[in-house]
Amino acid sequence: MSDGMQQALNYARMMNVPFVFSSNGDGFVFHNRYITEGEKETVLSLDEFPSPETLWQMYVEQNNVGPVQSRIIDEP
Protein backbone atom coordinates (compact mmCIF):
# COMPACT_ATOMS: atom_id res chain seq x y z
CA MET A 1 0.00 0.00 0.00
CA SER A 2 2.85 2.42 0.67
CA ASP A 3 4.75 1.83 -2.59
CA GLY A 4 4.20 5.42 -3.77
CA MET A 5 4.79 6.94 -0.34
CA GLN A 6 8.47 7.82 -0.87
CA GLN A 7 7.74 9.75 -4.05
CA ALA A 8 4.82 11.53 -2.36
CA LEU A 9 7.05 12.40 0.62
CA ASN A 10 9.65 13.91 -1.70
CA TYR A 11 6.99 16.12 -3.30
CA ALA A 12 5.52 17.00 0.10
CA ARG A 13 8.95 18.07 1.34
CA MET A 14 9.46 20.31 -1.72
CA MET A 15 6.03 21.93 -1.29
CA ASN A 16 6.06 22.02 2.53
CA VAL A 17 2.94 19.84 2.75
CA PRO A 18 2.48 18.24 6.19
CA PHE A 19 0.14 15.35 5.35
CA VAL A 20 0.75 12.60 2.78
CA PHE A 21 -1.58 9.78 1.82
CA SER A 22 -1.00 6.65 -0.23
CA SER A 23 -3.69 4.17 -1.22
CA ASN A 24 -4.13 0.87 -3.00
CA GLY A 25 -7.92 1.24 -3.15
CA ASP A 26 -8.54 -0.87 -0.04
CA GLY A 27 -7.20 1.59 2.52
CA PHE A 28 -4.72 4.39 3.12
CA VAL A 29 -1.35 4.98 4.67
CA PHE A 30 -1.37 8.40 6.34
CA HIS A 31 2.02 10.02 6.93
CA ASN A 32 1.95 12.97 9.31
CA ARG A 33 5.14 15.02 8.92
CA TYR A 34 4.32 16.95 12.11
CA ILE A 35 5.11 13.90 14.24
CA THR A 36 8.71 14.14 15.36
CA GLU A 37 8.92 11.03 17.57
CA GLY A 38 7.30 7.64 17.21
CA GLU A 39 5.27 6.35 14.30
CA LYS A 40 4.64 8.92 11.58
CA GLU A 41 2.55 6.54 9.49
CA THR A 42 -0.87 5.17 10.29
CA VAL A 43 -2.85 2.61 8.27
CA LEU A 44 -6.44 3.78 7.79
CA SER A 45 -9.45 1.98 6.42
CA LEU A 46 -11.45 3.70 3.68
CA ASP A 47 -13.96 5.07 6.18
CA GLU A 48 -11.25 6.45 8.50
CA PHE A 49 -9.91 9.00 6.00
CA PRO A 50 -9.73 12.32 7.89
CA SER A 51 -12.09 15.09 6.86
CA PRO A 52 -10.76 18.38 5.49
CA GLU A 53 -11.89 20.00 8.75
CA THR A 54 -9.85 17.53 10.81
CA LEU A 55 -6.74 18.07 8.70
CA TRP A 56 -7.21 21.84 8.84
CA GLN A 57 -7.54 21.73 12.64
CA MET A 58 -4.31 19.74 12.87
CA TYR A 59 -2.59 22.31 10.65
CA VAL A 60 -3.94 25.25 12.68
CA GLU A 61 -2.80 23.74 15.98
CA GLN A 62 0.66 22.85 14.71
CA ASN A 63 1.26 26.24 13.07
CA ASN A 64 -0.29 28.38 15.80
CA VAL A 65 -2.78 29.96 13.41
CA GLY A 66 -4.65 32.51 15.50
CA PRO A 67 -7.85 34.49 14.94
CA VAL A 68 -6.12 37.23 12.94
CA GLN A 69 -4.50 34.74 10.57
CA SER A 70 -7.76 32.77 10.30
CA ARG A 71 -9.68 35.88 9.21
CA ILE A 72 -7.10 36.55 6.50
CA ILE A 73 -7.07 32.93 5.35
CA ASP A 74 -10.89 32.77 5.28
CA GLU A 75 -11.24 36.04 3.35
CA PRO A 76 -12.76 35.33 -0.10
Q: What residues have CB less than 8 Å from 58, skipping those under 6 apart?
A: 18, 19, 32, 34, 50
The predicted structure's pLDDT at residue 71 = 92
The predicted structure's pLDDT at residue 25 = 86
Domain boundaries, the chain: 5-74
Is the separation of the CB atoms in 42 and 29 below 8 Å?
Answer: yes
Q: In whole angstroms, give the CA distance from residue 73 to residue 68.
A: 9
Q: For strand 41-45 and strand 27-32, is the pairing parallel, antiparallel, or unpaired?
A: antiparallel
The predicted structure's pLDDT at residue 50 = 95
The predicted structure's pLDDT at residue 63 = 93
Instruction: Name the CATH architecture for the domain at 5-74.
Output: Alpha-Beta Complex (3.90)
The predicted structure's pLDDT at residue 2 = 54
The predicted structure's pLDDT at residue 14 = 96
Residue segments in the chain with a per-residue pLDDT below the cut of 70: 1-3
The predicted structure's pLDDT at residue 1 = 55
This prediction's pTM: 0.81
User: CB neighbours (10 Å) of residue 24?
Assistant: 11
